[in-house]
Amino acid sequence: MTATEITDPAVADAIVQAVRAWIDTDVIGKADDFEHADDFPQVMFDQMCAFGLFGATIAPEYGGLGLDATTYARIIEELSRGWMSLAGIVNTHKIAATMITRYGTDDQRASLLPRMVDGSFRAAFSLSEPDAGSDTRSMRCKAVRDGDEWIVNGTKMWVTNGVRASLVMLLAKTADDEVTCFLVEKEPGNTSGGITASKKIDKLGYRGLETVEMSYVDHRVPHSSILGGDDGIGHGLRYALSALELGRINIAARAVGVAQAALDDALAYAKERETFGKPIAHHQAISFKLAEMATKVHAARLVTYDAARKYDAGERIDLDAGMAKLFASEAAFEVAMDAVRIHGGNGFTTEYRVERYLRDTPLMIIGEGTNEIQKMVIARKLLAESG
């Protein structure tokens, strides 16, 4: 691991404050309308582009902001405090940018990264399949070489941002035990060449942005689209899993943001709602719940920032990122559930935001490696380290 150039603290604070102010004024009160209608929030997307968030971690030499992982995690936390889907709109793009930066050839970096900074050329990440989620070895999507091209056939599942994307980081088998990552350029929309977004998945939460099933039928891509060039053949899974390690910090940051929102709403409601002659915040059962929620949010934030700081320092973060993702996502789910309980019957209605927080939190438990898989990875590492 190499260290990241640390963002000037004044610059980091200014960006985070700007995003925070925007979330407070333009997102918190409006997100539910988009969410309930499952509508893409174009106006919010435009503002994210204006902030430069699609190039947040892309190096300045390619036109990006070059922010460190800690600052980026703080931004993701703020976006998710307003609406977790906003973090999802930018996240697959960030995974792609990380993979291209780390493993792309000079030509791939020079041709793709400058187009990725302003949000007009967006990226999706496509590893999962109907029968290959945790078990990536069961992948069936295949690419077969034909001269200077590869022919791709197969079905990918859960492609978030797949329709609007212009670039798909596609993981496909190039031999029985060999997975390669292809930089598949496409037209935004449901079809492009042999690619079809065959089914838009209707989700419990994480709504407003599309997650689709995507099929490839004899779709041809140039040989030059292999991430890393000839050296990248057979290394796609390693490249993807290494980018997902950083992705776990972002999932943890999302969880912190949603948990903070749930705590904020629960606090406000507990002070306002009265039963038996006093605000419910003054019943010990509720005040203890609030105390536990605040402690979980605080701990989740610390473990997340700690992993981000270690990443920026160039340290190995496989254990830390997994722990942050595991702890923060479980904490967010518990905090969101408690926020619903504090809201009583109102918590069970779409009039209050807490029902959305509860619907959004399971994704952080499942996405980018389920928490069961995180526990396996953490335990394996602990056992190895203990000799």
Give residues in contact with ligand FAD (CB under 6 A).
92, 125-128, 133-135, 158-160, 203, 206, 211, 363, 366-368, 370, 372-373
- Give Cβ neighbours of residue 197 (< 8 Å, ≥ 6 apart): 159, 162, 163, 189, 190, 191, 210, 212, 213, 214
Residues in the chain, overall count: 387
Nearer to ligand FAD, 158 or 333 (CB): 158
Q: Does residue 252 contact residue 303 with C-beta atoms inside 8 Å?
A: yes
Q: How far is the CB of 199 from ligand FAD (least distance, A)?
A: 13
Residue number, 73 or 159, with CB nearest to ligand FAD: 159
Nearer to ligand FAD, 263 or 336 (CB): 336
Closest separation between CB of residue 90 and ligand FAD, Å? 12
CA of residue 241 relative to chain centroid, distance: 14
Query: Of 312, 337, 343, 307, nearest to 324 (Cα)?
Result: 307
Active-site residue, from 77, 129, 245, 368:
368
- From the CB of 267, what's the least distance to ligand FAD, in Å? 29
Q: CA-to-CA distance for 291 and 303, rounded, in angstroms?
A: 19
Of 281 and 328, the one with the shorter C-beta distance to ligand FAD is: 328
CB of 321 to ligand FAD, least distance (A): 15
In DSSP terms, 170 is beta-bridged to: 126, 182
Residue 74 tokens read as 């703080």
Q: Give yes or no: 368 in active site.
A: yes
Q: What share of the chain is helix, strand, coil (3-state, %, to 5)?
A: 60, 15, 25
Residue 5 has which token pair? 């150039």
Rounded Cα distance between 170 and 220, Å, is: 13
In whole angstroms, give the CA distance from residue 223 to residue 225.
5
Residue 199 tokens read as: 């089914």
Nearer to ligand FAD, 63 or 362 (CB): 362
Give the separation between CA 36 and CA 23, rounded to whole angstroms. Answer: 18
Nearest to 69 by CA among 105, 111, 97: 97
Match 């670039």 to its residue by tokens: 167
Tokens of 280: 């419910």
Q: Are 284 and 332 in contact (CB under 8 A)?
A: no
Q: Min. distance of Cβ 188 from ligand FAD in angstroms? A: 16
Q: What is the smallest separation between the CB atom of 243 and ligand FAD, expressed in angstroms? A: 11
Paired tokens of 42:
């174009």
| Partner residues linked to 129 by β-bridges | 132
Residue 353 · residue 198 · CB < 8 Å: no
- Nearest approach in angstroms of CB 88 to ligand FAD is 8
Contact between residue 231 and residue 217 where contact means Cβ atoms under 8 Å apart: no
Nearest approach, Cβ of residue 204 and ligand FAD (Å): 8
Name which of 265 and 368 has its Cβ closer to ligand FAD.
Answer: 368
Q: Compare residues 72 and 158 and give the one whose CB is closer to ligand FAD.
A: 158
Residue showing the smallest CB distance to ligand FAD in the complex: 133
Q: Which is nearer to ligand FAD, 293 or 324 (CB)?
A: 324
Q: Which one-letter DSSP state was computed for residue 24?
A: I
Catalytic residues: 368
